[in-house]
Structure 1
Amino acid sequence: MRYLLSTVALLLSPPLAAQTTPPASPPAAATIPADPALWVVKDKDTTIYLFGTIHALKPQLSWFDSAVRKAFDASGQLVLEIPLPTQEQAKAVIVPLAMDATGKPLTQKLSAEDRKVYAAAMAKLGIPETAFDTFEPWFAGVTLAQIELQKAGFNAAEGVEVALNAAATASGKPVSGLETLEQQLGYFHTLPQADQIAFLISSAKEIDKFDATINAMLDRWKAGDAEGLSALMNEDLSSQPNLYKVLLADRNARWADWIDNRLKTPGTVFIAVGAGHLAGKDSVQAYLAKHHLVAERVRY
């Protein structure tokens, strides 16, 4: 659940950051070293870089330099999980998928024990218990995580995808997505009610530990410790096998299929997806191996 709450739960951040108003003064120069993991898959005429991201970051991290910048500059195409939509486009997709169509308030869908956990989390955040009653449980869970991210000092406008998208636009690189925003949110929307509630309650239970957890994940990401990051993220995913399959394993398998197919076309591509997708037993690299493809770590 740490992966789901700390990485997938950030998926609404890039759309909301895509149209962020530029600051009145230039941002401070990046001064905090960060060397996140980077991989490459090659054949005789195609090179595909795989970069693990964190969708919202703290300011002044110097991650977009060295080998990462070199790989990006050498690429003719940027591929993200989703193309960053405008706020208007995001709203048009989010609202119909997030709003509950049953008419039954969220708090009334919870068992007595779950409602107690949920109410305690909402109280800690200073939010009325019924604030999300008109929404589906998955959306309430995502929103709780986003609030905690902001409290921990993470900013979507500082996220990797926003920076990469801006750099690609400035250099005239085409930007595309492995999925659409509607597809990503649809994974949550189509989850059985019990799984959505399990996701929400897990989010509520993580409230007290969220700051320490997300900062520990950031430290491992900065150090390029992909396996350590995976171990922290995926520590208890086995408790929600359906969520794990839908939100992680199945998507990684499809992305590996995409990469295998893209290798048939010459060129250089820079792919950036959430770091949790690029480590562990069901990582993108593990599925690439089933295509007899090897993703080599770029050491720098």
Structure 2
Amino acid sequence: MMRRWFSSLFFLPVLLGLAACQAEPPQSSGQNAPPVTESLTIPDDPDPALWVVKDEDTTIYLFGTIHILKPGLSWFDEAVKDAFDESEELVVEMVQPDPATMVKIVNDLAIDKTGVSLRDKLSEEDRADYEAAMASLNLPVDRFDPFEPWFASISMSLIPLMESGYTTGSGVEDALTSRAKAQNKRIVGLETPEQQLGFFDKLPEDVQIRFLNFNVDTISEMPDGMENMIAHWSNANIGALAELMNAGLEEKIVYETLLSNRNANWAIWVEERMKEPGTVFMAVGAGHLAGDDSLQEQLKKRNILVERVKY
């Protein structure tokens, strides 16, 4: 089973956008990469799950996304394409600002204002492990010293994925946003970049450090974990996807901050949007559409019927 904390990557598309603004990560030697797991395969024709909420004059499609992919995965077809083409409006977690604005927002929130170096916040043993992980990524050990632990953790997690062929411009939201612009659809963000970063920035520092320490210990597992996640997503294995992406958020504050509270807020958004006519394609991280506190479950609490689209 995928280990905890890895799912945090899929709740923060803003950092993927930031990575696209930066230089390509240094290439590692590959000596730390684990063997590829063969237990799951990504099909030639992925069919991710799709749901719909509708009344007399409003239709809202719910589609789970993966924020970062390798180029060339053919998921935009059949019912997904039909639902998107039918929609006048695309709703995503966050509308990406321009690169300069994004960098400023990230720096404002992610740089530690106390003046205490990141590595000085770690125990002697944890610091040694952290520095070894940085070296394995061919990064200077002081690269993230000015930043808060959450930022270092997620930034480190992206590097092995990008070295394995994943690109920040190949995620589902990127493709949908590009098509929406080409078709002159309205594009709406459920959250702002400041809000998305704030979810992590407001976590207590000890939680952030545990977040960092675990990702340091499992940094080499990231590519295999992503491969498993995409396989479950591609095959619409909702139960397995829920276990993989959400089961590791054991700490209540993390679970509520990253998942359940956001789903509850989005359910309110859907309920309000249903009062207006039109057809909407709502695309949010796949982890939000799986599990006991999924967006669908939050909608059911509001007596809003959610149906799976069969295709």
TM exceeding 0.5: yes
Secondary structure at 1:261 match in 2: helix
**Which of residues 122, 137, 150 is equivalent to 2:134?**
122
* Alignment partner, residue 299 of structure 1: 310
Change (3 A) 1:16 1:85: farther
**1:45 and 2:54 matched:** no
In structure 2, stretches of 5+ residues that fail to align are 24-42
1:268 and 2:279 equivalent?
A: yes
Which residue of structure 1 lines up, in the alignment, with residue 81 of structure 2? Answer: 69
Q: What is residue 216 of structure 2 aligned with on the other side?
A: 204
- Structure 1 residue identity aligned to 2:129: V
SS in structure 1 at match of 2:191: coil
| Mapped partners of 1:3, 1:244: distance in 2 | 13
Shift of 1:3: 4.9
1:33 aligns with 2:45: yes
**What number of residue pairs does the alignment pair up?**
289
TM-score normalised by L of structure 1: 0.91
How far residue 121 of structure 1 moved from its aligned partner, in angstroms, is 1.6
**C-alpha distance after superposition, 1:105-142 (max 9, x if no partner):** 00001122322332232122122222111011111011
SS where residue 175 of structure 1 aligns? strand
- What letter corresponds to residue 283 of structure 2 in structure 1? A
User: Is the contact made by 2:49 and 2:236 (CA closer than 8 Å) also made in structure 1?
Assistant: yes
Where structure 1 has 5 or more consecutive residues not aligned to the other structure, the ranges are: 21-30
Query: Matches of 1:243 and 1:227 in 2, distance apart?
Result: 21
Shift of 1:53: 0.4
The aligned counterpart of 1:156 is: 168
- Distance in structure 1 (CA, Å) of the matches to 2:22 and 2:74: 23
Distance in 2 (alpha carbons) for counterparts of 1:253 and 1:118: 36
Percentage identity across aligned positions?
Answer: 47
Aligned to 1:106: 118
Distance 2:285 2:63 in 1: 8
Give 1:12 shift. Answer: 1.3
CA distance in 1, matches of 2:49, 2:67: 15
1:195-228 Cα distance to aligned partner (Å, 9 max, x none) = 1112111221221211111110011111111221
The residue type paired with residue 167 of structure 2 is N
Q: Partners of 2:114 and 2:149 in 1: how far apart?
A: 12
**Residue among 241, 253, 259 paired with 2:252:** 241
1:5 Cα offset (Å): 3.5
1:1-36, CA deviations, whole angstroms, 9 ceiling, x for partnerless residues? 34534412554114555999xxxxxxxxxx942111
Given that 1:122 and 1:129 are in contact with CA atoms closer than 8 Å, whether structure 2 keeps it comes out as yes
Partner of 2:200: 188
**Does the CA contact (< 8 Å) of 1:80 and 1:271 recur in 2?**
yes
Which amino acid in 1 is paired with 2:142? T
Alpha-carbon distance, 1:231 to partner: 1.1
Which of 139, 159, 164 does residue 151 from structure 2 map onto?
139
Match of 1:165 in 2: 177
**Amino acid of the structure 2 residue aligned with 1:261:** E
Verify: 1:250 aligned to 2:249, yes or no: no
Q: What whole-Å deviation, never above 9, does each CA across 1:260-300 have from its counterpart, x for those lacking one? A: 11111111100000001100011111111110112211111
Within 1, Cα distance between the matches of 2:17 and 2:104? 15
Instruction: State the Cα distance separating 1:191 from its structure 2 match.
Output: 1.3
Structure 1 counterpart of 2:66 = 54
- Does residue 4 (structure 1) correspond to residue 7 (structure 2)? The answer is yes
Cα offset for 1:69?
0.6
Alpha-carbon RMSD across the aligned residues, in angstroms, is 1.9
| Contact in 2 for aligned 1:140/1:200 (Cα 8 Å) | yes
Give the structure-2-normalised TM-score. Answer: 0.88
Contact 1:9–1:146 (CA<8 Å) still a contact in 2? no
Q: Which SS does the other structure have where 1:282 is aligned?
A: coil
Give the counterpart letter for 2:261 in structure 1: D
Q: Distance in 1 between matches of 2:249 and 2:20?
A: 28
